[in-house]
Amino acid sequence: MNLVLAPLAVTGAAVLGLLAAVGRGALFAVAVLSHLVRPPFYLREFAAALMTIGYLSLPVVGLTALFTGGALALQIYAGGARFNAAAVVPSIVAIGMVRELGPVLGGLMVAARVASSIAAELGTMKVTEQIDALVTLSTHPLKYLAVPRVAAATLAVPVLVAVGDAIGIFGGYLVGTGRLGFDPATYLRNTVEFLEVWDVGSGLVKGAAFGFIVALMGAWFGMTSGRGAQGVGAATKAAVVTASVLILAANYVLTELFFSA
């Protein structure tokens, strides 16, 4: 009997634990959203987060986009050549970057850089009682620590995605004209001609959603971090992994929403 029930009990406990964690995370997200529109607003903290999350992420997002755009041009050229469609390189690079690769890779790079740093910072603050100190100073920790970061990431990541899109397309242009023999003027014309406003817009909406996810996960795992260095390390790892998986899942849902026939 126990041999049958024991695995079921373990599975049940794991599922219940997962559901409880999802529920707590969802409540945290709702609390952050509700505080986004209620004063007081910590503008100094928001500006600092905007700088850390947005401006300082530019190099990593830009380099990722540059190499991805170049590699994409090579891949499409090699694949397209099999059925005499090599000429589509400029338009496919542009559409691929702005719709998919720009937001997803940008989101993942920001997740690696930002979710980890938010989780580690807030986790350390929790372990060293700085979050308790905030409460004793009549300051709501969620409002002071999580809300400015979530707001900044939600606004900054679409901008990063837009810059990444441009750099990625430029990477494709460099490879297309320098390596694959495309005429520069034709390459640019084809890029612009086949790109629609919604291609870019959908990528930016994805960027906003991914920014929200990244900062939310960083703040959630940081503020609920366990004790000691091990607790902070585990929180940081969980923040990056969860943010990355949620970005990929949200990407599918949003793509389905935006582009399903």
Partner 1 sequence: MIALADVHRAFGANRVLRGVTLAVGKGESLVVIGGSGSGKSVLLKCILGLVPPDRGQIALDGQDVTRLPRDAFLARFGMLFQGGALFDSLRVWENVAFRLLRGPGRRPREEARAQALARLARVGLGPATADLYPAELSGGMQKRVGLARAIAADPEVIFFDEPTAGLDPIMAGVINALIRRIVVEMGATAITITHDMTSVRAIADRVAMLHDGVIRWEGPVAALDAADDPCLQQFIHGRAEGPIAALR
Interface with partner 1 (CB under 8 A):
40, 42, 48, 124-125, 128-130, 132-133, 135-139, 144
CB of 59 to partner 1, least distance (A): 22
Longest dimension (CA), the chain: 75
For residues 91 and 130, which CB has a smaller minimum distance to partner 1 in the complex? Answer: 130
For residues 41 and 258, which CB has a smaller minimum distance to partner 1 in the complex? Answer: 41
Rg (CA), the chain: 22
Rounded CA gap, 40 and 155, in Å?
A: 19
For residues 37 and 137, which CB has a smaller minimum distance to partner 1 in the complex? Answer: 137
State CA 177 to chain mean position distance: 31
CB of 180 to partner 1, least distance (A): 48
CB of 12 to partner 1, least distance (A): 20
Instruction: Mark residue 226 as left, alpha or beta (left: phi above 0; alpha: psi -120 to 50; beta: remaining).
Output: beta
For residues 34 and 186, which CB has a smaller minimum distance to partner 1 in the complex? Answer: 34
- 238: which 2 tokens? 């969980």
Rounded CA gap, 240 and 244, in Å?
A: 6
Q: Are 141 and 134 in contact (CB under 8 A)?
A: yes
Q: Are 144 and 134 in contact (CB under 8 A)?
A: yes
Q: Tell which residue, 158, 164, 145, 253, has the closest CA to residue 205.
A: 158
For residues 131 and 150, which CB has a smaller minimum distance to partner 1 in the complex? Answer: 131
Q: Are 70 and 173 in contact (CB under 8 A)?
A: no
CB of 144 to partner 1, least distance (A): 8
For residues 132 and 196, which CB has a smaller minimum distance to partner 1 in the complex? Answer: 132
To the nearest 10 degrees (0 to 180), the angle between helices 102-110 and 228-259 is: 170
CB of 14 to partner 1, least distance (A): 19
CB of 165 to partner 1, least distance (A): 32
